[in-house]
Amino acid sequence: MPRVLVVGSINMDLIVRCSRVPKAGETIRGDDFVTAGGGKGANQAIAASRLGARTAFVGRVGEDEFGPKLRSDLDRDGVDTEALTTDPEAPSGVALILLEHGGHNRIVIMSGANGRLGEPDVRAARALLANTDIVLFQLEIPLSVVAEIAAAARASSVPSILDAGPATPAVVEAGLPALIDIISPNESEAEILTGIAVRDLSDAARAASRLHDMGSHDVVLKLGAQGAYWSGPGGELHLPGFPIEPVDTTAAGDAFTACLGVSIASGADMPEAIRSANAAGACACLTLGAQPSMPRRDELEAFLRNNAG
């Protein structure tokens, strides 16, 4: 069984479905409102566990009404929450999500306890690295924490993946790409990191080259409906996406990253791992909510069988 460590954010998602997002100064009526567990880190931890990995999570929730629910969601899906701390000095993270009928979303995040990860969390992650095959990071927690644990993983020969969202120029300034084995931005994140607008595969190749120059080993660029582009020491390849009618694109990238990590930790080569990750991302688009949409192993396998052409 592959062993995955996820270090990252955990939020309560507050989701309003609407026909379209309002313009500045405009008020519109929403269709309905739901809450669901979210946060890029927690999403990826639940996805990794559902896909068959033994998964541990390092993060923080607040001492509020959301904290116990967020913890129990992870526990229910078999994620080890021993290193999930309850912080009495900050609320749990929250994401406000406006979801349009076509599945596209607009998201505002309030970090709360996620922004307070520090040295105790670094120590917890270091202790877990000895029993880890791959570690997954995102950028909704302090960059210094990501950098410290990434350096520890590199020293321990544990491969790492950075889901580069939400990207900022500080990621480059901190030299983080050189500490990560696989960096996986989407188009907008790649532009923030490299200054190259990614509109087609040629742009994707140029952005990947720039990230290699920054020290990244492998670059897996998420291209939404167009699939993913990979560039690394083993070659380069565009793997097309799967045609679907999306219900909600929230956390599709998290399903992709988790599946990529689980597949690599299970011994898959990069093309095989990315094809599975594309399928996981597509599956996640078919269900409302972040964590509720994370696919299970049997769902992923059925999707791949049904889209084998």
Residues marked active site are found at 254
Phi, psi angles (nearest 5°) of residue 299: -65, -40
Q: What are the tokens at 263? A: 């597949």
- The CA–CA distances, whole Å, from 251 to 124, 141, 152, 205, 257 equal 26, 17, 27, 24, 10
On the question of a cis peptide bond just before residue 177, with omega within 30 degrees of 0, the verdict is: no
β-sheet with 93-100: strand ranges across: 32-38, 11-18, 93-100, 105-110
- The CA–CA distances, whole Å, from 257 to 35, 62, 110, 172, 263 equal 23, 26, 22, 20, 10
d(CA 92, CA 234): 41
d(CA 23, CA 150): 41
d(CA 173, CA 277): 29
d(CA 210, CA 204): 10
Q: What are the tokens at 17? A: 């479905």
Question: Which residues are within 8 A (CB) of 214 and not within 5 positions of it... i.e. 6 or more apart?
Answer: 172, 175, 177, 178, 193
- The CA–CA distances, whole Å, from 105 to 40, 49, 119, 215, 238 equal 15, 26, 34, 32, 26
